[in-house]
Structure 1
Amino acid sequence: MKMENSLVMTGGGENANKRDTICIFGTGDFGRSLGMRLLKSGYPVVYGSRDARNSTLLPSGAQVFSHVEALNTSKIIFLAVHRENYDFISALSDQLDGKVLVDVSNNLKVNQYPESNAQYLSQLVPKAKVVKGFNTVSAWALQSGNFDASSQVFVCGDDNQSKQLVMDVARSIGLTPLDQRSLLAAEEIENYPLQLFPMWRLPFRITAGLTVFFFIYCVVIDIIYPYAKENNDFSYKLAISVPNRVFPNVSLILLSLVYLPGVIAAFIQLHRGTKYKRFPDWLDRWMLCRKQLGLVALACAFLHVLYTFVLPTRYSVRWRWINSLIEESKKNKTMQISKVLSWRLDLYFALGILGFALYILLGITSLPSVSNNVNWREFRFVQSKLGYVTLLLCTAHAAVYGWDRFLQSKRYRWGLPQAYMLGMVIPCTVLVLKLILITPCVDKMITRIRQGWERVPKDEKVQTFVNKSSLV
Structure 2
Amino acid sequence: MSPANREKITVIGTGNYAISISKLFLHHGHEVIFGSRNPNLNYLKQNLSEFNERNFNVFSIEDAWMQSESIIFLAILADEAIYENFAEKICQLLSRSNKQTSKIIVEISNWTDKNQQISNAERLQNLFKDKLDEKSILSKINVIKAFNLINAYSLSNPFESPTKANLANLEFRVPVAGDSEQAKQKLIDLCAQVGILAYNYGDLQDSLQLEKTNSTTFSEWKIPSLISFGFLAFNFIWVFLIYFYFPKKPQSFSEYLADFSLLSHTNKVLGFTTLNLLAFVYFAYVIASIFQLKYGTKYQKFPSWLDNWLKSRKQLGLLAFLIGTFHAIASLFVTNPQYLKDWHYKLSNGVGRMTLNGELNILTGITAYLLMIIVALTSINSIGNSLNWSEWRFVQSKMGISCLTMGLVHDALMYFRIYNEKDENNYSLVYLVTRVKLIAIYFPLMVLISRFILAYCTPISRRLELIRNGSVTCNQKEN
Normalising by structure 1, report the TM-score. 0.78
Distance apart, 1:181 and its partner CA: 3.6
In 2 relative to 1, CA 191–417 (structure 1 residues): closer, same or farther, beyond 3 Å? same
Letter in 2 for 1:76: I
Give the alignment partner of residue 294 of structure 1, picking from 292, 299, 317.
317
Query: Residue 72 of structure 2 corresponds to which residue in structure 1?
Result: 77
Letter in 1 for 2:37: R
**Whole-Å separation in 1 of the counterparts to 2:42 and 2:143:** 27
Cα distance per residue 1:159-209 (max 9 Å; x no partner): 334223323443455543233243333122112111212222222111111
Query: Residue 86 of structure 1 corresponds to which residue in structure 2?
Result: 83
**Whole-Å separation in 2 of the counterparts to 1:360 and 1:418:** 29
Tell whether the 8 Å contact from 2:111 to 2:119 is kept in structure 1 after alignment.
Answer: no
**Whole-Å separation in 2 of the counterparts to 1:409 and 1:281:** 47
**Whole-Å separation in 1 of the counterparts to 2:342 and 2:282:** 41
In 2 relative to 1, CA 292–48 (structure 1 residues): closer, same or farther, beyond 3 Å? same
Query: Residue 133 of structure 2 corresponds to which residue in structure 1?
Result: none
Tell whether the 8 Å contact from 1:89 to 1:124 is kept in structure 2 after alignment.
Answer: no
Give the alignment partner of residue 433 of structure 1, picking from 432, 446, 450.
450
**Whole-Å separation in 1 of the counterparts to 2:357 and 2:340:** 22
Give the alignment partner of residue 228 of structure 1, picking from 245, 249, 253.
253
Query: Residue 188 of structure 1 corresponds to which residue in structure 2?
Result: 209
**Whole-Å separation in 1 of the counterparts to 2:342 and 2:412:** 25
Tell whether the 8 Å contact from 2:357 to 2:417 is kept in structure 1 after alignment.
Answer: no
Tell whether the 8 Å contact from 1:83 to 1:117 is kept in structure 2 after alignment.
Answer: no
Cα distance per residue 1:372-416 (max 9 Å; x no partner): 34332333233223322322221122112122648766899x987
Distance apart, 1:362 and its partner CA: 1.9
Query: Residue 125 of structure 2 corresponds to which residue in structure 1?
Result: 122
Counterpart secondary structure, 1:194: coil
Letter in 2 for 1:90: A
Distance apart, 1:139 and its partner CA: 1.5
Letter in 2 for 1:448: L
Counterpart secondary structure, 1:63: strand
In 2 relative to 1, CA 308–109 (structure 1 residues): closer, same or farther, beyond 3 Å? farther
Tell whether the 8 Å contact from 2:273 to 2:323 is kept in structure 1 after alignment.
Answer: yes
In 2 relative to 1, CA 376–281 (structure 1 residues): closer, same or farther, beyond 3 Å? same
Letter in 1 for 2:269: V
Distance apart, 1:429 and its partner CA: 2.3
In 2 relative to 1, CA 56–223 (structure 1 residues): closer, same or farther, beyond 3 Å? farther
Distance apart, 1:283 and its partner CA: 0.4
Distance apart, 1:37 and its partner CA: 3.9
Give the alignment partner of residue 254 of structure 1, picking from 236, 261, 277.
277
Correspondence 1:264 to 2:295: no
In 2 relative to 1, CA 210–130 (structure 1 residues): closer, same or farther, beyond 3 Å? same
**Whole-Å separation in 1 of the counterparts to 2:343 and 2:295:** 60
Tell whether the 8 Å contact from 1:256 to 1:430 is kept in structure 2 after alignment.
Answer: yes
In 2 relative to 1, CA 348–278 (structure 1 residues): closer, same or farther, beyond 3 Å? same
Larger mean CA deviation between 159-168 and 134-143 belongs to: 159-168
| Residues matched between the structures, number | 430
Distance apart, 1:289 and its partner CA: 1.5
Correspondence 1:46 to 2:33: yes
Distance apart, 1:49 and its partner CA: 2.3
Give the alignment partner of residue 444 of structure 1, picking from 462, 466, 479.
462
Unaligned runs of 5+ in 2: 129-137, 160-165
In 2 relative to 1, CA 97–117 (structure 1 residues): closer, same or farther, beyond 3 Å? farther
In 2 relative to 1, CA 32–454 (structure 1 residues): closer, same or farther, beyond 3 Å? same
**Whole-Å separation in 2 of the counterparts to 1:343 and 1:244:** 21
Unaligned runs of 5+ in 1: 1-13, 458-472
Letter in 1 for 2:120: N
Query: Residue 463 of structure 1 corresponds to which residue in structure 2?
Result: none
Give the alignment partner of residue 390 of structure 2, picking from 374, 377, 390.
377
Taking the TM superposition and a 5 Å limit, the aligned residue runs for 1:237-248 are: 237-238=261-262, 240-248=263-271
Cα distance per residue 1:31-65 (max 9 Å; x no partner): 23323443344333222223336974773444332
Taking the TM superposition and a 5 Å limit, the aligned residue runs for 1:183-222 are: 183-220=204-241
In 2 relative to 1, CA 50–342 (structure 1 residues): closer, same or farther, beyond 3 Å? closer
Tell whether the 8 Å contact from 2:345 to 2:355 is kept in structure 1 after alignment.
Answer: no
Correspondence 1:454 to 2:473: yes
Correspondence 1:35 to 2:22: yes
Correspondence 1:273 to 2:296: yes
**Whole-Å separation in 2 of the counterparts to 1:231 and 1:388:** 37
Letter in 2 for 1:68: E
Letter in 2 for 1:443: S
Counterpart secondary structure, 1:115: coil
Letter in 1 for 2:464: I
In 2 relative to 1, CA 445–38 (structure 1 residues): closer, same or farther, beyond 3 Å? closer
Counterpart secondary structure, 1:145: helix
Cα distance per residue 1:341-374 (max 9 Å; x no partner): 9443343233323323322232233333443343
Tell whether the 8 Å contact from 1:298 to 1:360 is kept in structure 2 after alignment.
Answer: yes
Normalising by structure 2, report the TM-score. 0.77
Tell whether the 8 Å contact from 1:223 to 1:233 is kept in structure 2 after alignment.
Answer: no
Distance apart, 1:279 and its partner CA: 0.7
**Whole-Å separation in 1 of the counterparts to 2:244 and 2:2:** 74
Give the alignment partner of residue 440 of structure 2, picking from 404, 423, 434.
423
In 2 relative to 1, CA 78–418 (structure 1 residues): closer, same or farther, beyond 3 Å? same
Cα distance per residue 1:51-84 (max 9 Å; x no partner): 3369747734443322221111112111112051
RMSD: 3.8
Distance apart, 1:294 and its partner CA: 1.6
